[in-house]
Amino acid sequence: MSTRKKRSIFDIIDEYFERLDEWAERFGEVMIERPSWNQRASTIEPLRDILITPNEVIVTADLPYAEESKVQVKPLDEDSLEIIAKMRRKVRFADFGITHHAGEFQTFRCQTRIPVPVDMRKMEVHIKKGILEIHLPRKGRYRIPIE
């Protein structure tokens, strides 16, 4: 006969969220524990950030040395986009005093998933002081009438 204690629905929900937190932390570690550059593709991943406001999602990326006129932002599907930016100069590992890697980079490249539904067709892109700013209006916003 099982002696297992019967758990309340609240215990089960708590456990579910604890597992979710653990998973998110582990996923975050995996995401961060890789180089920020790709030697084969000769690309560097830019620092980026996502801000979700009530009306829009703002994606920013830090693109030092980027040729502002050659920055490309491409929607890949409904909830992800790709940023590609050519730099004005080539950057070599040797420029940073690194001699144990060889390679040079002249392009920033990254893919970003947008966490809430947005209208990619209405995307607006600005760049100022080397910071790329992508504005994506949120979609599927509806009002619940208060009775």
Partner 1 sequence: MSEEVKIIERQKIPSGATMLFGFPDVGLVGVIAASHIISELNLKEVAYLDSKLLPPLIVLHEGLPHSPIRIFGNHDVLLAVSETAVPADAIQPIMRTLVDWGRNKDAKVMISMSGIPVQNRQDIDKLKIFGAASNPSVLKMIQDKDVEVLKEGYMVGPQAIIMHYCARIGVPAITLLAQCFYNYPDPEASAATLKELAKITDIKVDVSALLEKGEEIRLRARDVMRRTQKEMAKMKKTQEYDIPLYVS
65 sits near partner 1 (criterion: CB under 8 A)? yes
Residue 13 Cβ vs partner 1, minimum distance, rounded to whole Å: 24
CA dist 135 and 55 (Å) reads 10
State both tokens at 81. Answer: 């986009």
DSSP-derived secondary structure for 29-44: HHHHSS-SEETTTTEE
Of 7-15, 40-48, 70-78, 114-122, which part binds partner 1 (CB under 8 A)?
40-48
Cβ 16 to partner 1 shortest distance, Å:
22
When asked if residue 134 is in the footprint of partner 1 (CB under 8 A), the reply is: no
Distance in angstroms (rounded) separating the CA atoms of residues 61 and 83 = 9
- Between 10 and 96, CB nearer to partner 1: 96
Total residues contacting partner 1 by CB under 8 A comes to: 18
Going by C-alpha positions, the residue among 57, 37, 41 that lies closest to residue 49 is 57
Give CA–CA dist 44/33, Å, rounded.
15
Rule CB under 8 A: which residues touch partner 1? Answer: 28, 32, 36, 44, 46-47, 49, 51, 62, 64-65, 91, 96, 128-131, 133
